[in-house]
Amino acid sequence: MFHNKTIESRLGVLSDYYQIDRSILADLAKIPHQKRKLLCAEMGVHPHIFRTMMDYTRYPDAIRLREMLLSLGVNIAGLNLLDFGCLASDYGIFFARLGSLVTIYDFKEEIAFAAFRIQREDLVVRVVCAPCNNLTLMAGKSLVIFGEVLEHIDNPLEILQACVASSVTYIFTSCYPFGDDAYFSLSGHSKAAQALQPECLMLLRRHYQEIRAFDKAVLWNRIKNA
């Protein structure tokens, strides 16, 4: 649940980025997301960015992830992490505020918005625009965050294989590879990704200890010599 202060802050970012009065955006937010897609398009607003900013916040999940990492003795300041498929980049911004060495990665339109948010806060974050070679992207990363992203990709297995090949110590997955039929009936969720869930799960469990975070979210901790 959003606090009013959070809503106003996020409306302010959207208003400044799109140069649209925040009262207009506030009215837009009251419309069910399926019905406002066309309105967003007419106004030049990315519907997924708008929905992520106004209907969701990943900060509570990021707080839980930080607590889990701390319980494992991880030093958050200086932690080299990748926010993969960042969209609005709540995870990346949260950890950058704590002094982590953050890389954010997404396609051009999404990464431009995330970079705008980051610039507003004077945060030091590396910005990488897709597409990029997965091994190059994962190189040197201690933590890779997949927040509501793997289910949208037709071949998440090759991405997770790159994490393993690059010896990423920690992987955070928000739901995938535990999505059910109802989950994959949602718009934008890939049936090809659903079919690869067993292989992805087998790969992760072969190389990582599975630490349940909350709901279907998992922090995967690399097994030594695996």
**pLDDT tens digits for 120-171?**
999 999 999 999 999 999 999 999 999 999 999 999 999 999 999 999 999 9
Percentage of the residues of the chain whose pLDDT score is greater than 90 = 89
Q: How far is CA 222 from CA 16, 107, 140, 204, 207, in A?
A: 41, 28, 14, 9, 6
CB-based burial of residue 43 (10 Å sphere; 0-12 exposed, 13-18 middle, 19+ buried)?
A: middle
pLDDT digits over 36-81, tens only?
A: 999 999 999 999 999 999 998 899 999 999 999 999 999 999 999 9
Work out the pLDDT band at 2, boundaries 50, 70, 90. low
Q: Which domains does the chain have, with CATH numbers?
A: 4-55 (no CATH), 59-222 (3.40.50.150)
**Average pLDDT, whole number, for the chain?**
94
User: Chain centroid to CA 58: how far?
Assistant: 8
Instruction: Using alpha carbons only, give the angle 117, 118, 123 rounded to the nearest 5 degrees.
Output: 155
pLDDT over threshold 80, residue 4: no
pLDDT digits over 30-40, tens only?
A: 999 889 999 99
